[in-house]
Amino acid sequence: MLQVAVAKRRGSFSLSANFELPTPGVAALFGRSGCGKTTLINIIAGLLPADAGRVVIDERVLLDSAAGINVAAESRRIGYVFQDARLFPHLRVEANLRYAEKRAAGARYVRFEEVEALLGLGPLLGRRTHALSGGERQRVAIGRTLLGQPGLILLDEPLASLDAARREELLPYLEKLRDHLAIPMVYVSHQFEEVLRLATHVVLMDAGKTVAQGDIGAMSLRPELRSIVGPDAVGAVIDGEVFGIDAAAGLADVKIGTGTLRLPRAGLSTGSKLRVQILARDVIIATEEPRHLSVRNVLRGTICATASDRADAELISIELGGPQILARITAAASRELALRPGLRVWALVKSVSISPDRLRRL
């Protein structure tokens, strides 16, 4: 476990964070810009002193203000990937990587060849850093961090300075690190698409405080998340498994609770496990079983909660035999249909509304 309970005041800003994260895995610190995410990971790294608190990684105490313990940053075995790559401009790529390898202390559990393969760095080794694209620089920066043999990696919005194309280029490499290495990572972001693809655990932050934490599915239903991501990005994140492929239609059948979700095949195969985000704006509710529709997904469920979303809209939570999805409908429609907890309904979702950026293979 990574255990953090720290407090810090900087001028008018006050940070009060308290959470526990399972390791290994990718834990996302998610919140608006200015909510204290970078301040928090700087305290974890030892780059910024806490006013009070405690930081423990797998029973190794890095900070305990009550006991007078404050391990120096260079002795914490924490790797840090910044928004800008911070490479040595006078060294070629391989020399940047070898520098970190030579300075690594303790056991060597990540080999140079492994890092080179995971991050696709082979073609870059002989190049000067100024000749690299933004995505390539960040891959080198991540590789250099790994070769320092860290026990924890902190990534402070590593994609923030990249354009959309470069972000899409780098994300698969981060997924490979998550899936192939047992190094815990804390990933800072205010982009939920990145969190959906990478995170195994989420800590929500708002105005300097940690307001909720848990697995991404549970967090996707929390009102605290909805207030951060905005109305267009509100939706449930659910897990499923592909049990059939309709090659002629180009669709995959995915088991979701007691229902079946039909998705664009997109290279999926039987047995693939997925994480899917279904946006509330893409869900239609029927109180009678619909027939003769072009919509491929008609999921039988039960309303478990209703909540005001905006002055003219409501969010309806629908339980599907375990997982829940959300539907945003007008308040007028909710009244006319007499929607209420306990009512059996059908949730309609167009297959084409679930784009590849809302899917993650598990």
Spatial separation of the C-alpha atoms in residues 112 and 121, rounded to whole Å: 10
Domain 2-226's class?
A: alpha beta
The pLDDT of 298-304, averaged and rounded, is: 95
The predicted pLDDT at position 109 comes to 83
pLDDT at 21 over 80: yes
Neighbour-count burial of 17, counting CB atoms closer than 10 A to its CB (0-12 exposed, 13-18 middle, 19+ buried)? buried
Model pTM score? 0.88
Contact assessment for residue 70 and residue 49, using Cβ atoms and an 8 Å cutoff: yes
pLDDT tens string 302-353: 999 999 887 789 999 999 999 999 999 999 999 999 999 999 999 999 888 8
Query: What would be the CATH architecture of the domain defined by 235-361?
Result: Beta Barrel (2.40)
pLDDT tens string 154-191: 999 998 888 888 888 888 889 888 888 888 999 999 88
Spatial separation of the C-alpha atoms in residues 268 and 361, rounded to whole Å: 9
The predicted pLDDT at position 253 comes to 93
When pLDDT is cut at 50, 70 and 90, the band that residue 1 belongs to is confident
Q: Enumerate the domain spans of the chain.
A: 2-226, 235-361
The predicted pLDDT at position 233 comes to 86
The predicted pLDDT at position 338 comes to 96
Mean of pLDDT over the chain = 91
* Comparison of pLDDT for 44 and 84, the residue scoring more: 44
